[in-house]
């Protein structure tokens, strides 16, 4: 069992059972909503069912950023930026994109994101710019790319 600030997760074969702490039923409702909303894009876990503050979803097996080398992070950075751009285009602020240690996973099914309990709709989502701030420790021009992104120039291949 893995424990977080708001919930515990039990991994059972192909399933992840997320049990939110008492009083955090709204967090469970929000996570369920966004998992269902994003299922057609293939980068979030598939939701199976929700009962109150308990969500059963697809277990994402793979390597998260905390477990990756700098070279592996760089290899997958542009792919994650494209996913985060999709979230920005949808008007969804995921939160915590500046700390992707546990929530960004490279799996056999591709790049995946987990943990949507803090997600919300926003007129100006900043998932890409938050992630580029994180990437500034690996790329010398990540902040410049973030500024270009804010101006509407989307070209992640310019990361150096």
From CA 68, how far away is CA 9, in angstroms rounded? Answer: 22
pLDDT of residue 4: 76
104-119 residue pLDDT tens = 999 999 999 999 999 9
- The answer to whether 156 and 78 have CB atoms below 8 angstroms apart is yes
The conformational region for residue 82 under phi > 0 = left, psi -120 to 50 = alpha, else beta, is: alpha
pLDDT of residue 155: 80
pLDDT of residue 85: 96
Same fold, 2-58 and 62-158: no
Q: Where are the domains of the chain?
A: 2-58, 62-158
Strand partners, 93: 120
Classify domain 62-158 at the CATH class level: mainly alpha
pLDDT of residue 6: 86
pLDDT of residue 149: 92
CATH number for the segment(s) 2-58:
3.30.200.20
Query: Quick one: pLDDT band at residue 10, thresholds 50, 70, 90?
Result: very high
pLDDT of residue 160: 85
- What are the backbone angles phi and psi of residue 93, rounded to the nearest 5°? -95, 115
Q: Check whether 153 has a pLDDT greater than 80.
A: no
- The answer to whether 17 and 6 have CB atoms below 8 angstroms apart is no
From CA 84, how far away is CA 27, in angstroms rounded? Answer: 21
90-107 residue pLDDT tens = 999 999 898 999 999 999
pLDDT of residue 36: 98
| Structure token digits, residue 112 | 């995946």
């Amino acid at each position: 069992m893995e424990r977080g600030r708001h919930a515990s997760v039990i991994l059972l074969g192909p399933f992840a059972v997320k049990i939110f702490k008492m009083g955090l039923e709204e967090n469970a409702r929000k996570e369920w909503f966004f998992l269902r909303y994003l299922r057609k894009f293939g980068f979030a876990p598939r939701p199976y069912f929700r009962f109150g503050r308990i969500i059963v979803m697809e277990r994402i097996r793979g390597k998260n950023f905390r477990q990756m080398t700098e070279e592996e992070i760089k290899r997958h950075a542009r792919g994650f930026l494209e996913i985060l751009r999709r979230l920005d285009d949808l008007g969804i602020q995921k939160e915590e994109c500046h700390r992707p240690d546990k929530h960004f996973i490279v799996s056999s099914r591709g790049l995946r994101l987990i943990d949507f309990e803090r997600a919300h709709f926003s007129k100006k989502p900043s998932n890409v710019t938050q992630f580029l701030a994180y990437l500034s420790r690996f790329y010398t021009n990540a902040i410049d790319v973030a500024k270009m992104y804010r101006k509407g120039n989307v070209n992640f291949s310019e990361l150096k």
